[in-house]
Structure 1
Amino acid sequence: MTEETRWLDAAQQRSWRGLVIGMTLLVDRLDDDLRRGFDLSMAEYEIMVRLSESEGTLRMAQLASAMGHSRSRVTHTIARMEKAGLVERRTSQVDGRGVDAVLTERGWEVLREAAPLHVRGVRENLVDLVPADDFATLGRVMNLVADHLISDRPDIEIR
């Protein structure tokens, strides 16, 4: 038994397309800014932020989960970051079995320098463009979407 497709109406289609193109352009701009200024990708920056929020160390599995990425994708990115001297991988001191990603002194330094550029880009290209109520609504909407989709991905833990 098949269900009939519930097509988007014109207003819903405009909103959907606005969301898709807006997010694509925003992420591209933020990524370009980080690459030009610090030779960092958005994914690398996000890893550094996640590590900094966890006192500089996270298990690789937890890092992948928190970012909503596969372990192999995070492992690949961490390998590039290791070559750049931004992070190190170490055997977990908790149980000796897992692997931790650790932000190096150079990583902390690059993060401190890159953060103002990134935050300025987020403000100029999103936060300061819309009324505070609309931005709060956007956050609630995207949290609902994330909560809904997380149910299909038990390996992901959003914090």
Structure 2
Amino acid sequence: MRKVIAMEETRWLTPPEKDAWTGLVALMLLLPNKLEAPLRPVGLTLFEYLVLSHISEAPNRRIRMSDLAFLASGSLSRLSNVVSRFETRGWATRSRDPDDGRYTIASLTDTGYGLVTEAAPIHLHAVRELVLDPLTAADLAALTRIAAKLRVVPPGMETRQE
């Protein structure tokens, strides 16, 4: 059932709130495409790059799919589809967790690792140019603090939020 809010109960945005909200929406909608565009020549979307990157940074380039979904801010079903494509391309494999068979482990192949090492400098350049370099140290601290306060956790991962 949808809650109906009367017009007189609505807290309209102040000009500073509207500026902040409009800026955030622009970041959410425009920045991902700008970060993804440089990755297209190596055949990756931003989400695919993030998945490969997180696997590459895990010990022995192996990570539980549930942990990977949390790190990549994606659902398990979306991640499963992406890792299936990675398996088809020879970039990753999946196997049962030998310590707990209820979990699945994603592992990066040497080919997948080669791709992520090729893509990493491209991604890092875009991140620096579009996000980090225009900010001061105080801006970075504020962005970190704000991101932590507004942190959105993927469905089913609520218990991992600190």
The normalised TM-score by structure 2 is 0.85
Let me know the Cα RMSD of the aligned residues. Answer: 2.2
Q: After TM superposition, list the pairs within 5 Å mapping 1:112-151 onto structure 2.
A: 112-146=117-151, 149-150=152-153
Q: Which runs of 5+ in 1 are unaligned?
A: none
Letter of the 2:131 partner, please give it: L
Aligned residue number for residue 44 of structure 1: 48
Aligned residue number for residue 8 of structure 1: 13
Contact 1:67 1:158 in 2 (8 A): no
Among 92, 98, 113, the alignment partner of 1:93 is: 98
The normalised TM-score by structure 1 is 0.86
Aligned residue number for residue 155 of structure 1: 157
Q: Distance in 2 between matches of 1:27 and 1:49?
A: 16
61-70 or 136-145, which deviates more: 61-70
Among 91, 100, 110, the alignment partner of 1:105 is: 110
Contact 1:34 1:118 in 2 (8 A): yes
Q: 1:33 aligned to 2:38?
A: yes
TM-aligned CA distance change 1:119 to 1:136, over 3 Å: same
Q: Provide Cα deviations, 1:23-50, integer angstroms capped at 9, x if missing partner.
A: 32221011111112x1011111111121
Letter of the 2:137 partner, please give it: A
Aligned residue number for residue 77 of structure 1: 82
Q: Provide Cα deviations, 1:98-153, integer angstroms capped at 9, x if missing partner.
A: 2111111011111111111101100011111121211220111011111xx44x95
Structure 1 stretches of at least 4 aligned residues deviating more than 6 Å after TM superposition: none
Residue aligned with 1:28, SS: helix
Q: How many matched pairs? A: 155
